[in-house]
């Protein structure tokens, strides 16, 4: 089977299906099959593993993943789950991702293996699901985290107060968790949010 990750095949698929890149979205197609194959090798060790591919594009990596695994699911999702606290893209999804997964850098990928060529190099990140945390009610925890990012310009006190529906109780929980009321959600780590949940879970009515 001819690799999709070549300039010739990529252009062929674009023309056939009217699929084109949007530079404003940072969209680029990888055109080096050896790089794609290495990524697939690093990602899959067991052919019976269920593999999720995020942002499949035209299927350059999907093709190699399917050769190594019996179960591959490809889907699109916002890439902000990679962000760290204090990054402009850090949000509730970033926190929830860390709650569920360990994140590991696999390899750097040169900008020269993409078409059109982007202005920056890329990086392959591996997510490994873990069971480090066992909160009593994870659904409530996730709702609390999302609430703390409802209005990014407001302090965590303002957002958290709306979630608890009581300003005095919200302030008391924040103090107990060791979080300054003037802090913003994007400044808080996963551990901060876990403490916030544990210190006030009796007040959360979700």
pLDDT class of 24 with cuts at 50, 70, 90: low
Cβ atoms of residues 131 and 101 within 8 Å: no
**Rounded mean pLDDT of the chain?**
87
pLDDT class of 176 with cuts at 50, 70, 90: very high
1 is in an annotated binding site: yes
User: pTM for this one?
Assistant: 0.62
Does residue 66 fall inside a structural domain? yes
Same domain, 36 and 121: yes
Does residue 25 fall inside a structural domain? yes
Does residue 1 fall inside a structural domain? no
Whether 114 has a pLDDT exceeding 90, the answer reads: no
Does residue 94 fall inside a structural domain? yes
- 19-28, 162-171, 176-185: the lowest-pLDDT one: 19-28
């Amino acid at each position: 089977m001819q690799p999709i990750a070549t300039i010739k095949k990529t252009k062929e698929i674009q023309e056939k299906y009217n699929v084109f890149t949007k530079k404003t979205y940072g969209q680029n197609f990888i055109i080096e099959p050896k790089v794609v194959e290495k990524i697939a090798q690093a990602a899959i060790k067991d052919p019976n593993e269920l593999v999720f591919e995020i942002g499949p594009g035209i299927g350059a990596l999907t093709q190699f993943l399917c050769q190594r695994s019996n179960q591959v699911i490809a889907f699109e999702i916002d890439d902000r789950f990679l962000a760290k606290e204090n990054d402009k893209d850090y949000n509730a999804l970033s926190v929830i991702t860390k709650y569920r997964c360990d994140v590991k850098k696999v390899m750097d990928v040169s900008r020269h293996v993409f078409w059109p060529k982007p202005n920056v190099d890329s990086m392959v990140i591996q997510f490994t699901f873990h069971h480090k945390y066992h909160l009593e009610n994870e659904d409530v925890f996730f709702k609390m985290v999302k609430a703390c990012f409802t209005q990014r310009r407001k302090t965590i006190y303002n957002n958290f107060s709306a979630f608890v529906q009581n300003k005095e109780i919200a302030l008391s929980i924040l103090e107990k968790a060791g979080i300054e009321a003037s802090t913003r959600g994007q400044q808080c780590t996963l551990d901060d949010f876990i403490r916030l949940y544990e210190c006030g879970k009796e007040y959360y009515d979700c």
